[in-house]
Amino acid sequence: MAALALLMFTAGCSMFQGFLGGGGGSKEQKLNDSGQLMGVPDREGWYQETPFGMVQIPGGTFFMGQADEDVAASQINFNRQITVSSFLMDSEEITNNEYRQFLAFIDTISQDPNEGYWTAQMLQDVTPNPEVWNEEFTYHMGDKMVQYYFSHSAFDDYPVVGISWESAEKFAEWRTEHLNIGYEKSQVSGGGLGGLFGGKKNKQQAQDDIDPLGAPIGAPGAAGNAQGQGNAQNTTFKSTLAVEKRFPNFRLPTEAEWEYAARGGREIIKYPWGGPYTRNRNGCFLANFKPGRGNYDDDGYPYTAPVNSFLPNNFNLYNMAGNVAEWCRDDYSPVYNPLVWDLNPLFLYSDAESQSPHYGKKVVRGGAWNDIAHYLETGTRTYEYKEVASASIGFRCAMDYLGRAGDDFGAN
């Protein structure tokens, strides 16, 4: 002890400067002050949690395109090697009850006389059309489905149908803000979301951003939507989180992402479960579709099935074949593969191409409860016009993954 005391007196303050960091300030700040390149201070680390109901899809390279004979001789999906970055995807199709939550929000916020975006007219536009159960099928008694499918609790866990591509986009826009506002509120309560983002707001600042009804107040003027574009109308439903602290946008998956996810990490497989047959070894069907002419019931469901029916694929995704076909983000082109880039491809028409005979068509993938097995194949492409609502088309959401890829994907 005496020797240590002597050393302290002889060394003076220099010992404490080395041992305790020089009398105040972080090491990074000292290096920054001395002219070193340290980056902007006070930016904490990032990792991205997976939202409830989603699964992680690790990126990779695969051969996109037909996995069996082109029986329709369409010649619209020749094989090509494609790379897709890591992303997140809903494990199941969006259900009636989940979509009902979206409609309940619009119904509530549209009562605000200052709300100019989520209005009663939008509520009408995005509400599922129950008449699709009668309109699409000749001489079909669909009264039960018209009356009960969307509204009755018996169908809560069934996939929502009767919505257009545009309605699915609005759902994704709402879901993005709903998640970010929920995270914002969690910071006010101090609960957090398990270390999702660094750089928490102070409590008073977060409270100032939230009105007494719990809806964060957007800035005056045009409020940005979930895609970062301006709206001509105002809305109070807008997260005030800075971009570096926000969850990425929910969106529809691209066609390439959808096919890559459907394959479950396997190469050139005909169906998402990997085998070339629609039955397992016990003779049971592996998806909800139309097994034969006039035969809808042998798979256990004459119409749609609950979204977690049948076994998931290797990425833990349910019903990537059958049940309902699913909207994708891409516009439809019969010459898709020669046009798009081979890294994260996305095909969208420009306004200058509005004269194209395919303008307004959106890619639909996966096949539905009333489709034959050909449409269930991972390589089968088809489409529908974006404003059309159908009894056989639903959707699920995707989300960009920001950060690591490869073996480290989702390590936290």
CA distance linking residue 314 with residue 400, whole number of Å: 20
- Residues 125-154 have pLDDT tens digits of 999 999 999 999 989 999 999 999 999 999
Q: Which pLDDT score, from 0 to 100, does residue 228 have?
A: 39
Q: What is the dihedral of CA 343, 349, 353, 354, to 10 degrees?
A: 170
Q: Is 210 helix (H, G, I), strand (E, B) or coil?
A: strand
CA torsion sign for 73, 321, 383, 59 is: negative
- Please report, as a single letter, which amino acid is at residue 212: P
Q: What is the mean pLDDT of the chain?
A: 83
**Which amino acid is residue 285, in one-letter code?**
F
Q: Retrieve residue 394's tokens.
A: 């639903």
Of the ranges 147-151, 163-167, 228-232, which one carries the lowest mean pLDDT score?
228-232
Please provide residue 85's backbone torsions phi and psi, each rounded to the nearest 5 degrees.
-75, 160
What is the average pLDDT across 10-36?
A: 61
Q: Report DSSP letters for 1-27, one per residue.
A: -HHHHHHHHHHTTHHHHHHSSSSSS-H
Report helix angle 96-109 to 165-189, nearest 10: 70
Tell me what the mean pLDDT of segment 222-243 comes to. 62
pTM recorded for the entire structure: 0.83
Please report the pLDDT score of residue 5 as a whole number: 52
Cβ(126)–Cβ(103) under 8 Å? yes
pLDDT of residue 321: 97
For the stretch 280-319, pLDDT in tens is 999 999 999 999 888 999 999 999 999 999 999 999 999 9
Q: Cα torsion at 383, 387, 389, 392 (round to 10°)? A: 10
User: Positive or negative CA dihedral for 289, 264, 380, 391?
Assistant: positive
> In this predicted model, what pLDDT tens digit does every residue of 179-219 receive, in sequence order?
999 988 877 665 544 334 333 333 334 344 433 333 433 33
Range with the poorest average pLDDT among 65-69, 106-110, 359-363: 65-69
Percentage of the chain surpassing pLDDT 70?
Answer: 80
**Contacts by 338-343, CB closer than 8 A, 24 or more apart:** 340/256, 342/80, 342/81, 342/82, 342/83, 343/82, 343/83
Helix (H, G, I), strand (E, B) or coil at 102: helix
Q: Terminus-to-terminus CA distance in the chain, angstroms?
A: 45
* 277-282 LR contacts (CB < 8 Å, sep 24+): 278/373, 278/376
